[in-house]
């Protein structure tokens, strides 16, 4: 049977993993003068690092800003399991500022053509290209690789907490059986640290 099964080819996502370069990237996004929904979506990709589709199709009812939680329903998750994400004060402000613009829509990021449809797959990609970044430098999905790399390199956080935040599920059955919860308390601290870290990078402090 050798060769009968095809192993899926994993394509690495282009991402910026140098802290100083990522700080410059964040400032470019913040200065982007295109659609505010697209600019906010890109900033939230950096702060929260969800999968692009999870963010694009988000609905306002999924957010509890008082408890600082975003609850993503299972049908939008890759592994079809509901996922919760802690929200930093920076992320909450971005959402609340956007709500003044799109709050009348069910969707957080409605298309300019229809309130019933989210922004397209290409909206964030086109914005990145407009800023001068090539597909070999960064793609929307690459924000996840950036966060994973920099969080792990910081040495401050349990790798399992980082994986849970990314919405990954342990592939090893035994290890998954013994994985302890969702590391929720640590993830709250981690996401707040991450948001503050990004603010420092954007200000030019990569230390």
**133 counts as catalytic:** no
**141 counts as catalytic:** yes
Q: Which of 9, 80, 100, 178 is catalytic?
A: 178
**189 counts as catalytic:** no
Q: Which of 141, 164, 183, 202 is catalytic?
A: 141
Q: Which of 51, 84, 183, 187 is catalytic?
A: 51
**13 counts as catalytic:** no
Q: Which of 20, 61, 67, 78 is catalytic?
A: 78
Q: Angle at CA 94, nearest 5°, toward 34 and 28?
A: 45
Helices (H), 31-141: 36-48, 52-56, 89-102, 121-130
Spatial contact of 124 and 111, defined as CB atoms under 8 Å apart:
no
**83 counts as catalytic:** no
Contacts of 3 (CB under 8 A, 6+ apart): none
DSSP 3-state of 141: coil
**78 counts as catalytic:** yes
Q: Which of 56, 144, 164, 183 is catalytic?
A: 144
Q: What's 118's DSSP letter?
A: B
Would you name the residues annotated as active-site residues? 51, 78, 141, 144, 168, 178
């Amino acid at each position: 049977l050798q060769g009968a099964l095809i192993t899926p080819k994993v394509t690495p996502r282009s991402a910026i993993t140098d802290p100083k370069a990522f700080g410059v990237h964040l400032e470019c996004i913040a200065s982007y003068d295109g659609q505010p929904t697209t600019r906010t979506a890109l900033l939230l990709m950096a702060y929260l690092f969800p999968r692009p589709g999870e963010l694009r199709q988000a609905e306002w009812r999924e957010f509890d800003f008082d408890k600082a939680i975003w609850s993503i329903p299972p049908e939008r998750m890759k592994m079809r399991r509901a996922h919760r994400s802690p929200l930093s004060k920076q992320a909450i402000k971005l959402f609340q500022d956007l709500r003044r613009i799109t709050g009348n829509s069910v969707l957080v990021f409605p298309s300019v053509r229809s309130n019933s449809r989210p922004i397209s797959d290409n909206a964030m990609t086109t914005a990145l290209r407009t800023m001068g970044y090539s597909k070999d430098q960064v793609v929307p999905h690459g924000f996840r690789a950036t966060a994973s790399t920099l969080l792990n390199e910081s040495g401050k956080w349990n790798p399992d907490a980082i994986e849970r935040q990314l919405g990954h599920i342990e592939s090893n059955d035994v290890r998954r059986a013994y994985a302890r919860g969702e590391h929720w308390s640590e993830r709250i601290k981690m996401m707040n640290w991450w948001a503050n870290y990004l603010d420092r990078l954007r200000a030019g402090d990569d230390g």
